[in-house]
Amino acid sequence: MDALSTKEGLEGESTTNQLSVPTTASHPHHIDHIDHVDHVDHVDHVDRHEHHKRHHGLPNTYPDTPSSVASGRHTLPDIETIQRVLNNTAMSAKSPTVVSRISSVRSLREYHYSYRLADIYTTVFRLIALLPGSGDEPLVCHLREVDLEDNPEYETISHCWGEPMFDAELHVQDEGSLAITTLLASALRHLRFPDRSRTLWADVICVNQQDVEERTVQVQLMNRIYRQCRGVLIWLGNSTPESDLGMEVARKMHAGLVRKQEAGDKRLLYDMSPSERAAYGLFPEGSREIRAMTSLVDRPWFSRTWIVQELALPPTATLVCGSRAVPWDHFGLAVTSCSPSFKKFSTNEHPGENHVRLSICPSRDEATHGKPPPLLRLIARARNSLATDPRDKIFAFSGLAKERGEPSVLGRPDYRLSVAEVYRAFVLENISTYKTLDVFSLAHGRDEASLVDTPTRLPDLPSWVPDLSVRGIPYPLTRLDKVLAERHATLRTKSDYLEYCTAGDSETTSYALRDDEATLCLSGYVVDAVGPEVGLPFPGRSEWGNVWRKRQAQHNAWASWEALVGARRNAAKYGDESAYDVYWKVMRGGELEKHCAVAKQDFMTGYELPRRPYRVLSRGKVVRSPALFKLLYTLSCRMLDAQNVLRRASGKPVIEYTRGIGTNPCEYRAMGKSAQGRVCFLPGAAKEGDAIALLEGGRVPFVLRSAGEGKWRLIGEAYVHGIMEGEAWDADKCNEICLV
């Protein structure tokens, strides 16, 4: 009995649609066909290595696929075909072929499918042959092992696993059944063809999630699985009237944006009036249509970590929601063009829009052009995404790192390692490879007394290891996550961004590990300390659940910073710079001199104008009462509405409530002054007396807190105005600084 025939002892007579296995004679390129593979189910870990060169001979397509019979290839359906299939899903009529398959399933004895991937150490993986069906008919499939080297034809499914409630069933014909989630079952029902099989790959089915060894090996194949597929099908979930409208709006917005581009109109949408938008067939901001489209990114799929790789590598991607489908590239363009609308009209402050705009779309574009970003940049961009397994905050990008050719042991993910071991290995490897401390930009200390609802760190992580398992990692001052396409008409390249060099051109050429690798010893020195004047901390994403509390914390933080720096006092100066100029530069995390004029104008339109009415009403003071804040803020919005009526009438751009230039760098930070009077942007957990240190290979200063016995705890990176370009660096002052 070969590996792909019915298991011995199973009840179920019908094998009409059983996938056949070609012999090596009919397919000479297939070698070492494994017979009697049942015994492989029981071999131990050592024995499995003995089979690592053997693989099954399989055709590239399944014999019950009409297109494969005619041409020998399985053709990827276009968007119209996908839409037609989705429409047919609702049909209640059952074809005779489907009825026969269902009858076969009903005759099966009740038992669970037993995974058996014999060639675990090769490029063999599983594919689903999803048999025809429609409506609520049972889900029936074949599971087959194929080799990536044989270039099989298939599509991948990207979906959100959701809650681990496995209350639906997928029948593996003549081999058993698999418990799957209702969400995945719904996806399969919508995606299956009514008249022929569909070859798919879905990680939760095709990888034995209970086998750590198999997961470890299969994750290493992920980049090839997605790179070699014909396309990825993104399942958002079942439809609602609002989602149907949103999908249609995305299609029309893309068509309108194409017309706008062809007309040579480079204006941003929020700078256009409703009538100007309408000329291109674009919907006005705040309309029911735009609200419907923005609500789509509130769906859980958009917050997943894995979707960056799942969309970056496949040649095509199709977004599917219920019975509607739209090409991903069309949807992505519509979403990124309407970014301010997401902030104003999304049903909650879900990070999905940021994930699309700052991580998914640029990573897909870079990978398509053969330039996938470095692993650290990928991780930084997706730092606030979600992963069921915390180790996947790194492993999910190892495939893209491999595409780049980045040397990394993390290109071989190992789920046998603990979360702390994976994170620590990532930090040390990044320092060794690039000889910088950029990875410290993701490490941020937590202080429950100073930040409300701030997520706590994993207990067994040293302070110098970023805790990627939590959401709420601040925007890196080193601009690790920067997407090189600014809002300005003139495209800015990497050389146009301010490259900090607080430690000159030094490199982290060596380090020492002590105390069972819990202590990292580097070279550097303390240059300053946090002084007594520290403003209120700015809220981060962990406080986004309460919009009113977040807004109040934002405005109170800004009020305390303005008073601390003296930004409203015209005579206040720091050296040759006005206090106001220092204030906006620190809030932005610095700016190149040649861009200062544009950046200052951005700060005016994105911070000054939206905040001015509230600052006038609150007299620039910190407002502690939630009720009073809500009253003042509501009045300030009405004042802005009145101003916008006049601005539209005079042809001026409207003032956006939430443009907030500088909001991202502000999260989880506080503005303060050092002991030597320098204006600083500090981690929100910083306290008076904390040290400000320069470390070899560090592009920014770091805030450290004494841990006793000459050791330090890393609190986070900092911006210290006046020393960011190496003005205070002196290599002769370096000594050993040990972080715990």
Q: Do 125 and 206 meet the contact criterion of CB atoms below 8 Å apart?
A: yes
How many other CB atoms sit within 10 Å of the CB of residue 208? Answer: 17
How does DSSP assign 367-433, residue by residue?
Answer: HHTT-PPPHHHHHHHTTT-B-SSTTHHHHTTHHHHHHHT---GGGS--TTS-HHHHHHHHHHHHHHH
Average pLDDT, integer, range 719-726: 94
- What b-and-e string marks burial along 16-42, b requiring 16 or more CB atoms within 10 Å of the CB? ebbbebeeeeeeeebeebbeebeebee
CA angle 365/366/368 to nearest 5° reads 65
Assess whether 182 and 265 both reside in one domain: no
- Confirm whether 424 is domain-assigned: no
Least confident of 130-144, 567-581, 659-673: 659-673
Q: How far apart are CA 335 and CA 302, in angstroms?
A: 12
Which span out of 25-29, 228-232, 344-348, 359-363 was modeled with the highest average pLDDT? 228-232
User: pLDDT category, 295, cuts 50, 70, 90?
Assistant: confident
Name the residue among 154, 147, 172, 174 with its Cα closest to residue 56: 147
Q: Over 80: is that where the pLDDT of 387 sits? A: yes
Q: Over 50: is that where the pLDDT of 691 sits? A: yes
Retrieve residue 673's tokens: 């002054």
How far does Cα 335 stand from its chain's mean position? Answer: 15
User: pLDDT category, 410, cuts 50, 70, 90?
Assistant: low
Assess whether 376 and 485 both reside in one domain: no
User: Who wins on pLDDT, 308 or 360?
Assistant: 308
What is the per-residue pLDDT across 587-635, written as a single tens digit (0 to 9) for each? 887 776 666 777 788 788 888 889 999 999 999 999 999 999 999 999 9
Percentage of the chain lying above the pLDDT 70 cut: 73
- Confirm whether 311 is domain-assigned: yes
Q: Do 655 and 645 meet the contact criterion of CB atoms below 8 Å apart?
A: no
Say what the pLDDT of residue 271 is: 72
Name the residue among 621, 203, 664, 610 with its Cα closest to residue 388: 203
In the numeric block, the tokens 């519509």 are attached to 334
How far does Cα 176 stand from its chain's mean position? Answer: 36
Q: How far apart are CA 306 and CA 320, in angstroms?
A: 17
Q: Over 50: is that where the pLDDT of 493 sits? A: no
Q: How far apart are CA 329 and CA 326, in angstroms?
A: 9
Q: Is 170 helix (H, G, I), strand (E, B) or coil?
A: strand
Q: How far apart are CA 67 and CA 61, in angstroms?
A: 9
Q: Is 707 helix (H, G, I), strand (E, B) or coil?
A: strand
User: pLDDT category, 119, cuts 50, 70, 90?
Assistant: low
Assess whether 374 and 318 both reside in one domain: yes
Retrieve residue 405's tokens: 């050719």
Q: Over 70: is that where the pLDDT of 93 sits? A: no
- Confirm whether 24 is domain-assigned: no
Which H or E run contains 179?
strand 176-180
How far does Cα 337 stand from its chain's mean position? Answer: 19
Which span out of 70-84, 103-117, 569-583, 678-692 was modeled with the highest average pLDDT? 678-692
Q: How far apart are CA 702 and CA 691, in angstroms?
A: 8
Q: Which of 648, 667, 686 is the last residue of a domain?
A: 667
Q: Over 50: is that where the pLDDT of 709 sits? A: yes
Q: How far apart are CA 586 and CA 589, in angstroms?
A: 5
Say what the pLDDT of residue 606 is: 81
Q: Over 60: is that where the pLDDT of 533 sits? A: yes
Q: Is 597 helix (H, G, I), strand (E, B) or coil?
A: helix
Q: What single-letter amino acid sits at 91?
A: M
Q: How far apart are CA 550 and CA 537, in angstroms?
A: 11
Average pLDDT, integer, range 453-458: 59
User: Who wins on pLDDT, 636 or 492?
Assistant: 636
User: Who wins on pLDDT, 99 or 616?
Assistant: 616
Q: Do 659 and 340 meet the contact criterion of CB atoms below 8 Å apart?
A: yes
Helices 626-649/547-565 angle, 10° precision: 80
CB-side exposure of 82: number of CA atoms within 13 Å? 25
Assess whether 623 and 658 both reside in one domain: yes
Q: Over 60: is that where the pLDDT of 96 sits? A: no
How far does Cα 577 stand from its chain's mean position? Answer: 39
- Confirm whether 441 is domain-assigned: no
- Confirm whether 27 is domain-assigned: no
Say what the pLDDT of residue 373 is: 76
Task: Quickly list H helices, 32-78.
Answer: 45-49, 66-71
Q: Over 50: is that where the pLDDT of 122 sits? A: yes
In eight-state DSSP terms, residue 677 is S
CA angle 304/188/395 to nearest 5° reads 30
Q: Do 606 and 662 meet the contact criterion of CB atoms below 8 Å apart?
A: yes
Q: How far apart are CA 698 and CA 724, in angstroms?
A: 11
Q: How far apart are CA 479 and CA 737, in angstroms?
A: 25
Say what the pLDDT of residue 80 is: 59
What is the per-residue pLDDT across 148-165, written as a single tens digit (0 to 9) for each? 999 999 999 999 877 777
Q: What single-letter amino acid sits at 229?
A: C
How far does Cα 41 stand from its chain's mean position? Answer: 37
Least confident of 253-262, 355-364, 429-438: 355-364
In the numeric block, the tokens 């480079």 are attached to 266
Retrieve residue 694's tokens: 């320069």
Q: Do 591 and 538 meet the contact criterion of CB atoms below 8 Å apart?
A: no
Say what the pLDDT of residue 482 is: 62
Percentage of the chain lying above the pLDDT 90 cut: 43
Assess whether 274 and 374 both reside in one domain: yes
- Sign of the C-alpha dihedral computed for residues 384, 387, 391 and 395 taken in this order: negative
Say what the pLDDT of residue 408 is: 57
Cβ partners under 8 Å of residue 458, min gap 6: 390, 419, 420, 467, 469
Predicted TM-score (pTM) of this structure: 0.76
Say what the pLDDT of residue 557 is: 95
Q: Is 99 helix (H, G, I), strand (E, B) or coil?
A: helix
Q: Do 713 and 707 meet the contact criterion of CB atoms below 8 Å apart?
A: yes
Least confident of 73-87, 101-115, 490-504, 587-601: 101-115
Q: What single-letter amino acid sits at 9?
A: G
Q: Over 60: is that where the pLDDT of 524 sits? A: yes
- Confirm whether 398 is domain-assigned: yes
Average pLDDT, integer, range 725-731: 95
Say what the pLDDT of residue 544 is: 53
Q: How far apart are CA 304 and CA 385, in angstroms?
A: 6
Least confident of 96-110, 177-191, 385-399, 479-493: 96-110
Average pLDDT, integer, range 667-673: 92
Assess whether 660 and 706 both reside in one domain: no
User: Who wins on pLDDT, 168 or 445?
Assistant: 168
Q: Is 190 helix (H, G, I), strand (E, B) or coil?
A: helix
User: Who wins on pLDDT, 327 or 312?
Assistant: 327
- Confirm whether 357 is domain-assigned: yes
Q: Do 403 and 367 meet the contact criterion of CB atoms below 8 Å apart?
A: yes
Assess whether 631 and 507 both reside in one domain: no
Domain residues for the domain of 411 are: 236-417
User: Who wins on pLDDT, 343 or 463?
Assistant: 463
Q: Which of 610, 638, 667 is the last residue of a domain?
A: 667
In the numeric block, the tokens 């290493």 are attached to 220
- Total count of domains within the chain: 4
Assess whether 610 and 620 both reside in one domain: yes
Assess whether 372 and 468 both reside in one domain: no
- Confirm whether 565 is domain-assigned: yes
Say what the pLDDT of residue 657 is: 65
Say what the pLDDT of residue 504 is: 93
What is the per-residue pLDDT across 17-75, written as a single tens digit (0 to 9) for each? 332 223 333 333 332 332 333 333 333 333 333 333 333 333 333 333 333 333 333 34
Assess whether 354 and 267 both reside in one domain: yes
Say what the pLDDT of residue 563 is: 96
User: pLDDT category, 143, cuts 50, 70, 90?
Assistant: very high
Q: Which of 174, 209, 244 is the last residue of a domain?
A: 209
- What b-and-e string marks burial along 128-143, b requiring 16 or more CB atoms within 10 Å of the CB? bbbbbbbeebbbbbbb
In the numeric block, the tokens 């990114």 are attached to 297
Name the residue among 689, 680, 694 with its Cα closest to residue 733: 694
Average pLDDT, integer, range 509-531: 93
Q: How far apart are CA 575 and CA 34, in angstroms?
A: 78
Average pLDDT, integer, range 640-664: 75
How many other CB atoms sit within 10 Å of the CB of residue 619? Answer: 9
Q: Do 454 and 474 meet the contact criterion of CB atoms below 8 Å apart?
A: no
Assess whether 676 and 660 both reside in one domain: no
Three-class HEC string of 431-451: HHHHCCCHHHHHCCCCCCCCC
Say what the pLDDT of residue 284 is: 86
CB-based burial of residue 562 (10 Å sphere; 0-12 exposed, 13-18 middle, 19+ buried)? buried
Q: How far apart are CA 55 and CA 33, in angstroms?
A: 6
Q: How far apart are CA 364 and CA 332, in angstroms?
A: 11
In eight-state DSSP terms, residue 16 is T
Least confident of 41-45, 112-116, 502-506: 41-45
Say what the pLDDT of residue 88 is: 54
Say what the pLDDT of residue 489 is: 33
Q: Over 60: is that where the pLDDT of 219 sits? A: yes
Say what the pLDDT of residue 407 is: 59
Say what the pLDDT of residue 719 is: 95
Assess whether 169 and 268 both reside in one domain: no
Q: Which residues partner with 520 through β-bridges? A: 513, 739
Q: Mean pLDDT score of the chain, rounded to an integer? A: 78
